[in-house]
Chain A
């Protein structure tokens, strides 16, 4: 702690931070552009100028940039000094010289940091009478719109895109006043985090292209705090709605999880909510029926007996629990295929038993040696890859500290660190985007990866079982042993228990943090609502013991091979499906009941970290209801009632109730408004239907109101619908919700970690490996994951769908020529696919993109045959 005098008054500040950071933390309105709490300071924009004085007798002082000045003890500065004020106004005027007259048609308008800062400095009249420079724009793909004229050259975009996210195809081009931020030619931005440019850019150069299609100003959207459904990371998002359609997703800061950034799948996958494939009304044998008739039919089916429930890892904890309650614990199945279920159970077992701690994403960023085992993190849990990218910078931070360079001084740290990185080892089936920053890579089929992992564990601790001789293992072992905060990242995506065991062995051997990536947003939650596997349900049906199967938000054709699912549906006389999208399974349902998506329902997800997090209705559902409400059959009328019943049945999930305040929560007697106080059109938006305004719906499940009426005070972390504070209309208002800038949210970060282990003893797995290569003409077909395509829901999102690759089969170099059509026979199915060469694949190893129709549902890895089509 240090004391800094700001305009004559003493304030306690953090001496390790810069003045700008501390001024903002103290609540001063000090304008800035190039600084970002996650990107650090470069002192490029000269906007945060303040006056610094030598001592109390110094009246002249000198202008310094707050962002690159240490908040040293006894420093005396002035924000309101007339000269500093004039300086900042001058800087803004300079930045605005070439800024176009675009605000009315600019998507950033109303949430523009440049607008805010211009107002803050008082610049209101344009004196410049000469020509403005202009640029041509580029087409940057379906996610990000480019409007270069608006650029103020703060360099934040390239600092995020290149330095933070590791992108290569966006850069600062040209010179002097024509500096241009773009690609060398039109094309889709390659980096998986390009969507963050929308929030990083302080003005309207990069804007959300999906929002542009149904544009709405920030103040007109109705928001709710939500959780991303497109992978298991559990990123916090704010979802915004207008006129009954979901309009966009923005980041909702969570210090321990997603921080300031989201991946593109999470940001743009939301469009499935507006998709044509949505189920909007109940259907019985294809004919629309009323919701009451559907409920009656469901009731009859359950009362008839011999009903089973098939849950889903993409449905909320509450919906799975409601199904389990309805069908009975013995008749509840998780909806996950046998092998995947075993993998998740193993992961849960390892995490519960300990001694390895599950790190938060923020803790991952602080790790100084990372081993990735079997997981293409960038494509299975992209946000974690971004954290791993920050982890490798630990080496350069150490070097900077030795040179006494403060860590927030971004350019200084990068110059000191150069290309020095903390050790990162990537052992995967095929090449990954993390390879470029890895100090070592290993390629092999899942069992080779597991073997390699066991070898590394053995090299660290000879008590761990060995598995063969891998020369590279020794180097990795030394790096992990030398690290202060080692980390192992693995997961279920390569379908191998041995890989998971290997990861556990390494982590135990070196006392590392251990993060397992699971496939879906509520995989862990669904597994914790203990139920049999999907295959068990199939067997039960095959024995003729099932009259009715109730399938909850689950497309069985993505879980198991199509012939198995066809057989199951054939064995079940009555198939009842609750889903939000018309999936292949839903098409075959006798009774199809619409289910609310994450935007139309409230519930809880358990992320890969074991963190239970609540999401809330973004807008009042029109006809569609939460599945737990449908399945509850009137047993519960509010979410809190479901959560109150949860602990008795499933003690392990008891604390899920504390993921967010209950619906009774009030701030000074008031609810929390979902809409901004400037929200417009209330008396006109539905006037074409009826000139009398309808009554505002009441949300029984949350303390949030469906209107602009709510508490003045800022809500607790779990209930922040959107970030806004007076004078800060852009996402930069996040600063005002934090304890200190960049730190945890006021009142603590939301969510409850359900899995904490205090065990100390190590217990190593003994490896069991399959032999490979296979005999005869068989191929081992392994999965390759794609950020766009492997996730079910985002496949139905318009913008994401544009980037989903066409089905293909990847093989090593020797076998087939590029683009040859081959016939792939696997799990009793046959596909005609073009060949793509991935040279890192070994002999007789092929890879199929996971989850991309029609290849979804194949249990990979799997043996199969590949023949060229003549």
Chain B
């Protein structure tokens, strides 16, 4: 009985506490850099696409809203031929970013992407690709990978010895 009355009294006192609501459109909230908002695809420092179309984001996605197709340029560099995110399905969980081995896919502190037509929430690669490196500057997957691409032959990646000479029998 007393607890009921004390509850009523304490709730009543809240009339005089400060309000915590943020008046959103007029007053912008602070979003941390690691906020999980709109998804982008970043580029490496040289301006090349970071995405190597490994499909890991797609498989990590719990709502299956990422679809892509891998392609390879003449020099062997892999990239997504198309890369599509259906934001009308996306739950912004960030698993794609966690799964990405090249820091290509990143979630940004931008959530203002409402649309009147659901179809407009389907983003293609040109809508996703940005010109910068995003949150992770300096990383370039191809500089540590073993495959050769244009401008990087075998043995030129980080911590790689020059290619072996198969014809040599020297110990």
**Residues of chain A whose beta carbon lies under 8 Å from any beta carbon of chain B:** 100-106, 109-110, 129-137, 147, 149-150, 173-176, 178, 180, 182, 212, 214-217, 219-220, 243, 678-685, 687-688, 690-692
Contacts and interface: CB of A to CB of B under 8 A. Distances in A.
Nearest to A683: B89
A106 B147 CA distance: 9
B154 A104 contact: no
Contacts of A150: 146
A685 B67 contact: yes
A841 B166 CA distance: 40
B84 A684 contact: yes
A685 B70 CA distance: 13
A134 B154 contact: yes
**Which of A101, A110, A679 has the largest number of chain B CB atoms within 10 A?**
A101
Contacts of B61: 680
B166 A178 contact: yes
Given A105-B54, A216-B69, 8 more contacts: A102-B145, A132-B161, A136-B163, A174-B167, A175-B171, A680-B55, A680-B58, A691-B86
Interface string B57-86: 011010111111110100000100000111
A271 B33 CA distance: 47
A349 to B, nearest CB: 52
A180 B160 contact: no
B166 A212 contact: no
Nearest to A107: B70
The 5 closest A-B pairs by CB, nearest first: A100-B146, A681-B67, A104-B54, A684-B67, A680-B58
B112 to A, nearest CB: 20
A624 B79 CA distance: 32
A251 to B, nearest CB: 23
A149 B154 CA distance: 9
14 contacts: A101-B144, A131-B160, A132-B146, A147-B146, A147-B147, A174-B164, A214-B69, A215-B70, A216-B55, A681-B65, A684-B85, A684-B122, A685-B67, A691-B86
Contacts of B166: 135-136, 173-174, 178, 180, 182
B102 interface: yes
A735 B25 CA distance: 60
Contacts of B54: 103-105, 109
Contact of A175 (B118, B162, B169): B169
A22 B67 CA distance: 42
A681 B78 contact: no
A639 to B, nearest CB: 30
A89 B120 CA distance: 50
A499 B119 CA distance: 67
B145 A134 contact: no
Contact of B159 (A131, A136, A212, A243): A131
B52 to A, nearest CB: 5
B124 interface: yes
Nearest to B56: A104
B51 to A, nearest CB: 10
Contact of A131 (B64, B118, B161): B161
A109 B65 CA distance: 21
Interface of B: 52-56, 58-59, 61, 63-70, 72, 78, 84-86, 88-89, 101-102, 118-119, 121-122, 124, 141, 144-148, 154-155, 157, 159-164, 166-169, 171
Given A131-B159, A132-B160, A678-B59, A104 B85 contact: no
B65 to A, nearest CB: 5
Nearest to B169: A175
B145 A105 contact: yes
A134 B59 contact: no
A690 B161 contact: no
Contact of B118 (A103, A106, A109, A691): A691
B65 A684 contact: yes
Given A175-B169, A680-B55, A680-B64, A134 B164 contact: yes
Contacts of A104: 52, 54, 56, 101-102, 141, 145
A679 B67 CA distance: 11
Contacts of B89: 683-684
A742 to B, nearest CB: 31
A643 B99 CA distance: 48
Given A103-B101, A131-B160, A174-B164, A681 B145 contact: no
B118 A100 contact: no
A691 B102 contact: no
A217 B161 contact: no
Contacts of B157: 100
Nearest to A217: B55
B52 A105 contact: yes
Contacts of B162: 134
A134 B121 CA distance: 45
A687 B66 contact: no
Nearest to B88: A691
Nearest to A678: B59
Contacts of A131: 159-161
Contacts of B122: 684, 687-688, 691
Nearest to B63: A683
Nearest to B117: A691
B103 to A, nearest CB: 11
Contacts of B118: 691-692
Contacts of A101: 141, 144-146
Contact of A683 (B56, B86, B154): B86
A441 to B, nearest CB: 36
B126 to A, nearest CB: 12
A481 to B, nearest CB: 49
B1 to A, nearest CB: 54
Contacts of A180: 164, 166
A101 B85 CA distance: 27
B146 A102 contact: yes
Nearest to A685: B67
B160 A220 contact: no
Nearest to B78: A105
Contacts of A174: 164, 166-169
A102 B157 CA distance: 12
Contact of A681 (B58, B148, B169): B58
Contacts of A690: 119
Contacts of A682: 64
A135 to B, nearest CB: 6
Contacts of A683: 63-65, 86, 89
A3 to B, nearest CB: 43
A118 B171 CA distance: 30
Contacts of B164: 133-135, 174, 178, 180
B124 A220 contact: no
B85 to A, nearest CB: 6
Nearest to B66: A684
A684 B86 contact: yes
B59 to A, nearest CB: 5
A178 B119 CA distance: 55
Contacts of A680: 55, 58-59, 61, 64, 66-67
**Which of A147, A182, A679, A683 has the largest number of chain B CB atoms within 10 A?**
A683
A243 B64 CA distance: 15
Contacts of A243: 69
Nearest to A150: B146
A685 to B, nearest CB: 4
A265 B85 CA distance: 38
A379 to B, nearest CB: 32
Nearest to B104: A104
Contacts of B167: 174
B84 A688 contact: yes
A130 B161 CA distance: 9
Contacts of A109: 54
A136 B154 CA distance: 6
Contacts of B78: 105, 215
Contacts of A176: 171
A220 B63 CA distance: 14
A106 B121 CA distance: 31
**Which of B52, B145, B167 has the largest number of chain A CB atoms within 10 A?**
B145
A662 to B, nearest CB: 31
